Structure 1
Amino acid sequence: MPKDPHGLDAIDRKLLGLLSQGAEQTYAEIGKQVGLSAPAVHERVKRYKATGRIKSVSAQLDPAMTGKSLLAFVHVDSTGWGKSQAMLDLCNFPEVEEMHTVAGDACMVLKVRTENTQALEALLARIYDMPEVQTTKSYVALSTVLERPVQAGITEELREKTFQPRD
């Protein structure tokens, strides 16, 4: 079976896509969907983990059920380089779910979840306590329309087949 430039064949992409939708399926159940035996699926999954294609397996928690229903995106601008050790220490704040260096009017974008606006305000105060931080801009999400993991099955070929421009 031909592999793409990333070393993945069609079965790899389908298998990774199924795992990203719900890793609690058994290898036998996944194997039926991709046309492989359970041991063959197991070997591929071991290879994905060994090569870093699968970084980890975790449970997706319901934010409301864990008391963290306020989702916000915080743009942080700093003096100097954004990837300084001091700025990377933001990773240690438990409210920070994602941290991205970006180009534009900020150097970092944080995805954060807190209990409420008071907790967000307290987090922002801790961020502002960092000497490197110059400014922040916060965007509170009112609702989430789409949130999904990396999509292993999306390729340029598939995109061309499914994308229909509007007239």
Structure 2
Amino acid sequence: MDTIDRTLLAELTRDAAQSYARLGEAVGLSAPAAHDRVRKLRKGGALHAVEARINPHAVGKTLLAFVHVDTSGWGKSPALMALADLPEVEEIHSVTGDTCMLLKVRVTDSEALEGFLARLYAIEDVTATRSYVALSTYLERPPQAGITADLTIRQDRAAR
């Protein structure tokens, strides 16, 4: 993956509907060359899909919550994974720390969140939940292709 590939991915993240001519212009390639690069990014797995991002308020999902789920076992039970079938569940993560699973859930209101939590507690292995409701969202975006240089702590710097 070179700078051109990363720039193409960044451009597609910004506007997935732009033409290959516009993509090529952004990276100094012809439209066919940009198309070939994007095809290779898809084939190589760097680009999974080009997706539409829905405005949650436009579809009535105004409440965003992050739900920590504690379970009696490992947590990745079939019943818990079946929550992926609910359109309110945007993300499911197995995490380290003081919880087993982390869910990103978007619902219409607090009553819908309460109903979702009731459904969670109906799952046999769920022992506890903690919900964090977002009051405001300042940044929400898909994964970015760029890499920030020098984020690692080197031994020589850590010793200072």
Superposition TM-score, scaled by structure 1 size: 0.87
Q: Which residue pairs with 2:120 in the alignment?
A: 127
1:57 is aligned to 50
- Answer whether contact 2:91 2:103 (CA < 8 A) is retained: yes
Name stretches of at least 5 consecutive residues in structure 1 with no aligned partner: 1-7, 161-167
Distance 1:60 1:9 in 2: 27
Runs of at least 5 residues in structure 2 that lack an aligned partner in the other structure:
153-160
* Structure 1 counterpart of 2:55, one-letter code: D
Tell me which residue corresponds to 2:105: 112
- Indicate whether 1:146 and 2:143 are aligned: no
Letter aligned with residue 33 of structure 1: A
1:61 and 1:120 mapped to 2: Cα distance?
Answer: 20
Candidates 77, 81, 87, aligned match of 1:94? 87
Q: Which amino acid aligns with 1:123?
A: F
Amino acid at match of 1:70: L
Cα deviation for residue 94 of structure 1 reads 1.7
- Name segments (4+ residues, structure 1) moved above 6 Å: none
Query: What one-letter code is carried by the residue in structure 2 that aligns with 1:88?
Result: M
Could you tell me the percent identity over the aligned residues?
55
Aligned pair count?
152
